[in-house]
Amino acid sequence: MKWEKYIVPASLEEALRILTEYEGQARVIAGGTDLVPQLKKKERKVKCLVDVSRLAELKGIHNQGGVIRIGAGVTHERIAASPLLREMATALAEGAAAVGSPQIRYMGTVGGNIVNAQPAADTAIPLLALGAEAEIVSSGGVRREPLQDLYVRPGVSRVDASAEILVALRFPALHGKRGSAFARLAKRRSLSLPILNAAVVVNLSMDDRLFEDVRLAVGPVALTPFRARKAEEALRGMPVDREAIAQALAIASEEAQPRANPVRGSAEYRREMVQVLLRRALERAVASAQS
């Protein structure tokens, strides 16, 4: 059997109780769009699935005094459609809209997208650029971790889905002179894994002329979602012009070091595309910040 028991707990407390009872033999399931195929192919074994997809604590998209809180159980479709996120976290709304297919987006959740621990995940890349923090609950209590600390390597998360539940993600809302954008390169526009995903968040000076802060996230170019920190540093304080951007993007593709991959393309091509995607996302993020 793929699993022996399927439980839909009525509360977060009940979910945690069941996980504790099963001593590592149970696992959290939200949308199941990654987990069920893995269980069908016997890439994972569980005795019990604990369905958290209807828990109220994992729902909701709210602006809490300038900090956006998104429940880990919110689906990609909800995130893509959210007027709040389209305005104040555009890169995330765009990333969520790019996941798989409409059917997958109606089921799959942002929490699952993170715990599945793929370095190019369409919501993880924007969340990294947005500086997101995760709230994780277990029988031992609550902890908050920066998103990048949740990744070990592809497919392996620091969130132990047999003992812990990712409950929410939080990041500062982008308003004023801040903007963001997401860019994706894939063989097809739907049902296609990314050759590269990129997300950019910019913070401009009041007169629109200088980069006060920039965050550049890209994947898959490493074992975990990647921020091009040297390129970010190169842009800080620089004028918003082609030359500064080109120099920084050259640094970005050097530090990203994408490798050749039979599915995703040659190293040469991907190095070049890191610059192209980041430039496109940067230009749109700047336009959004300026307006």
Partner 1 sequence: METLTMRLNDEEVALEIMPDALLVDVLRDQLGLIGTKEACGEGECGACTVLLDGQPVTSCLIPALKAQGREVYTVEGLASGGNLHPLQKSFIEHGAVQCGYCTPGMLMSAKALLDRNPHPTEDEIKEAISGNLCRCTGYVKIVEAIKAASSD
Residues interacting with partner 1, by CB under 8 A? 1-6, 8, 29, 32-33, 36-37, 40, 49, 51, 53, 77, 100-104, 106-107, 189-191
C-beta of 50: minimal distance to partner 1 in Å?
A: 12
Instruction: Pick between residue 111 and residue 258 the one whose CB is nearest to partner 1.
Output: 111
- How is the beta sheet containing 141-146 ordered, strand by strand? 61-64, 67-71, 164-172, 133-138, 141-146
CA-closest candidate to residue 264, choices 216, 197, 200, 175:
197
C-beta of 81: minimal distance to partner 1 in Å?
A: 10
Helix axes 267-290, 242-256, angle to 10 degrees: 140
Instruction: Pick between residue 118 and residue 275 the one whose CB is nearest to partner 1.
Output: 118
C-beta of 1: minimal distance to partner 1 in Å?
A: 5
**From the centroid of its chain, how far is CA 264?**
19
C-beta of 15: minimal distance to partner 1 in Å?
A: 15
Instruction: Pick between residue 42 and residue 141 the one whose CB is nearest to partner 1.
Output: 42
**From the centroid of its chain, how far is CA 161?**
17
The CA distance from 106 to 74, in Å, is 10
Instruction: Pick between residue 1 and residue 263 the one whose CB is nearest to partner 1.
Output: 1
Instruction: Pick between residue 48 and residue 285 the one whose CB is nearest to partner 1.
Output: 48
Q: Write the single-letter amino acid at 59.
A: K
C-beta of 33: minimal distance to partner 1 in Å?
A: 6
C-beta of 268: minimal distance to partner 1 in Å?
A: 29
The CA distance from 246 to 251, in Å, is 9
The CA distance from 36 to 39, in Å, is 5
Instruction: Pick between residue 53 and residue 90 the one whose CB is nearest to partner 1.
Output: 53
Instruction: Pick between residue 1 and residue 142 the one whose CB is nearest to partner 1.
Output: 1
C-beta of 224: minimal distance to partner 1 in Å?
A: 25
CA distances from 27 to 10, 20, 58, 280 (A): 16, 10, 16, 39
In terms of Cβ atoms closer than 10 Å to its own Cβ (0-12, 13-18, 19+), residue 99 is: buried
The CA distance from 228 to 196, in Å, is 14
Token reading at 205: 């000076």
